[in-house]
Every structure is written in C-alpha cells, then in structure tokens.
C-alpha cells in the first residue's frame, strides 16, 4: 500500500490552497461592480436642475415676447435701422398710441423684408416668400414699401384707399394705395430709409382679418391715425 510522504502532502496542500485562491479571485472579479449611490443621486439632481432652468427660460421668453398693438413692415432694397426704431418708436408714436390688446402699455413692432443686393440669392428668395406671406396674412397694418414692390402688388386688393391724405400711387381702379414719403423725417426716425422711391401704404381690412382678429377695427383705426400723423 502506497504511503504519502510529508513533502508530497505539503505539495498537495499548496496546490489546493492556490486553487482556492484562484477561485476566490475569479468569483470576486465576476461580482457586479457596486453601485455608486452618490453618483446616481447627483445625476438625477443635475437632470432636474437642467429641466427647471429650461422651463424658466421658456417662461421668461414668453413674458418678454410682447404682443404688439400695431405691426408695421419695411419692404425694400435697403435695411431697417432696428436700433433707431426701438429707440424712437414710443416717442414718435406717443401722440397716436393706443393700448389695443389691453396689456397696459403701447407696443409697436416692425417687420423687415429686404431684397438688398448684398444678400445671397437664397436670402432674397426667402424675402420673396416672406413678402407673399406678409401680404396674405395681414399681420402688418402699415407698410413702408419701395415703389417697384408696391407696383407689383397695387392691384392685389390688400391696400386701403388713402386718398384722404393726398394724391399718390394709384392702382388699376384709380384708388390711391400709396403716398410717397421720400425724405419724410418721421419715417426716418422710425429707422426707415427714405432716400429712395418709397411709399406709405395701409392694409385694408379683409373678410379673413375680420374673422380672425377681434381687434382688427381698432388696429385699422390706429393704422390710419399713424398714417395721417406720418404724412401730415
């Protein structure tokens, strides 16, 4: 019968201990990494903060975006001096100002539709689409419009007969739909370039306007008051 020497026993015990150590390390490495609760909590808090900030920015944007009592439009080959308009509009229009929307203050806005030659062809095409949409939607009630663009749209039925304020550009029906404002100081103070062939026109109240805007008659009356103020 075979016997085991002490050396053999030691060797066998060492191998067993080594095998157990390897198994323990392998089992340890296969365990899932412990979850870092602090990091998870921090990420959730950061996400909540980002959402809250986004909501606050959206709310502030809505508050800052004023609903204008009257909207005007510049249409031409130049550019609107936006800074001059924002600085002077309240002072210039103070005598005819009217709080139509009931927010406690008078606010006027000015659209810019430019076909300046410095713009890219794509930008000018976009201006053409903006012009079509502006005339169709009727958002603007007063237009500072260069002669060639007025001529192209004079008989479209979107401009009021303003012959009560004087003679000017007539449509096919003989109605005065634009009065020249070349060199007009009031229009100039509103940021409009009046050095060229430019006219003032007023949007007519269409059936669609009457159906979609409860304040349209008030806006139209204000537009006529502003037109008279600028032209006289």
Q: What is the pLDDT of residues 107-117, one digit of tens each?
A: 999 999 999 99
- Taking the chain, what is the end-to-end CA distance rounded to the nearest angstrom? 132
How far is residue 50's CA from residue 16's CA, in Å, rounded to a whole number? 56
Q: How many CB atoms lie within 10 A of CB 62?
A: 8
pLDDT band at 56 (very low <50, low <70, confident <90, very high): very low
Question: Mean pLDDT, to the nearest integer, of 212-221?
Answer: 94
Q: For the whole model, what pTM was predicted?
A: 0.71
In a domain? residue 20: no
In a domain? residue 32: no
**Lookup: tokens for 117:** 């030659």
Lowest-confidence pick of 50-59, 112-121, 141-150, 221-230:
50-59
Q: How many CB atoms lie within 10 A of CB 141?
A: 27
How far is residue 230's CA from residue 223's CA, in Å, rounded to a whole number? 11
Number of domains in the chain: 1
**Residues linked to residue 145 through DSSP beta bridges, in sequence order:** 75, 199
**Lookup: tokens for 158:** 């979107």
Per-residue pLDDT at 10 exceeds 60: no
In terms of residue numbers, what domain contains 165?
70-231
What are the C-alpha distances in Å from 184 to residues 31, 94, 187?
83, 18, 6
How far is residue 181's CA from residue 197's CA, in Å, rounded to a whole number? 8
Per-residue pLDDT at 79 exceeds 90: yes
Per-residue pLDDT at 154 exceeds 70: yes
> Between β-strands 198-202 and 142-146, what pairing exists: parallel, antiparallel or unpaired?
antiparallel
**Lookup: tokens for 166:** 């004087």
In a domain? residue 197: yes
In a domain? residue 184: yes
In a domain? residue 179: yes
In a domain? residue 194: yes
How far is residue 9's CA from residue 65's CA, in Å, rounded to a whole number? 89
Q: What is the CATH number of the domain that holds 215?
A: 3.40.190
């Amino acid at each position: 019968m075979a016997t085991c020497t002490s050396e053999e026993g030691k060797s066998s015990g060492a191998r067993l201990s080594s095998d157990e150590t390897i198994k323990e390390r392998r089992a340890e490495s296969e365990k899932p990494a412990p979850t870092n609760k602090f990091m998870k909590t921090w990420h959730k808090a950061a996400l909540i903060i980002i959402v809250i900030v986004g909501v606050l920015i959206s709310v502030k944007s809505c508050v800052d975006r004023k609903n204008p009592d009257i909207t005007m439009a510049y249409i031409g080959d130049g550019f609107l001096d936006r800074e001059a308009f924002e600085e002077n509009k309240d002072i210039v229009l103070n005598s005819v100002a009217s709080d139509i929307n009931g927010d406690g203050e008078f606010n006027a806005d000015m659209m810019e539709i430019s076909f300046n030659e410095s713009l890219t062809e794509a930008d000018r095409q976009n201006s053409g689409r903006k012009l079509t949409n502006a005339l169709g939607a009727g958002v603007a009630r007063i237009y500072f419009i260069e002669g060639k663009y007025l001529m192209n749209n004079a008989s479209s039925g979107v401009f009021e007969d303003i012959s009560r304020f004087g003679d000017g550009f007539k449509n096919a029906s003989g109605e005065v739909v634009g009065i020249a404002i070349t060199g007009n100081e009031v229009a100039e103070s509103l940021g409009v370039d009046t050095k060229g062939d430019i006219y003032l026109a007023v949007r007519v109240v269409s059936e669609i306007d009457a159906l979609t805007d409860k304040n349209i008659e008030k806006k139209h009356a204000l537009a006529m008051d502003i037109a008279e103020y600028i032209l006289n």
